[in-house]
Amino acid sequence: MFDIRQDDLSSDGTRELLALHLADMHASSPPGSVFALDLPALKNPAVTVWTAWHGDYIAAVGALKILEEGLAEIKSMRTHPHFLRRGAGAAILETIIAAAVARGIRRLSLETGSGAAFEPALALYRRRGFRNGAAFGSYEKSAFNQFLHLDLAE
């Protein structure tokens, strides 16, 4: 149903969905609690971005950021409002997991917020086997954020 593509961040659709993602993260999070990557940060060579398309319409975006050998992070996961609960986010998540496995990643992690705005994404991650755990990288635990991990070495 969805055409998954590695994305070079040049299309208007991709840029608009990423702008929506950043705006929503700021609207749904306390000040200083947004760690979403902006467009220049997503162009870092350590980051690979994929998008899901339905015909000419962007349905979802997500990225894999390599942290250090064997560890990686999911970044910028967002489903376009017109494609919610239609499998676009799950398709991107499966693509990211498959790419992580192919690259020899042992643990895939993510940081996200708490509250109603984050529950659909949390449900998706937990259905796929992600479990809450400790902060990682340069993140610090707060009352708002939470950290999920998926062990790929099993």
pLDDT digits (tens, 9 = 90+) for 97-129: 999 999 999 999 999 999 999 999 999 999 999
Q: How many residues in the chain?
A: 154
pLDDT for residue 32 is more than 70: yes
pLDDT band at 154 (very low <50, low <70, confident <90, very high): low
pLDDT given at position 59: 98
pLDDT band at 69 (very low <50, low <70, confident <90, very high): confident
Whole-angstrom Cα distance, residue 40 to residue 16? 14
CA-nearest of 55, 76, 74, 77 to 66 is 74
Question: How much is the mean pLDDT over the chain?
Answer: 96
- Determine the average pLDDT of the residues in 36-47: 95
- 137-154 per-residue burial string, b: 16 or more CB within 10 A, e: under 16: eeeeeeeebbbbbbebee
> Helix, strand or coil for residue 83?
helix
Whole-angstrom Cα distance, residue 37 to residue 19? 10
**What sign has the CA pseudo-torsion 136, 140, 145, 146?**
positive
pTM of the model: 0.95
Query: Edge-to-edge strands of the sheet including 131-133?
Result: 3-6, 47-54, 57-68, 71-79, 107-112, 146-151, 131-133
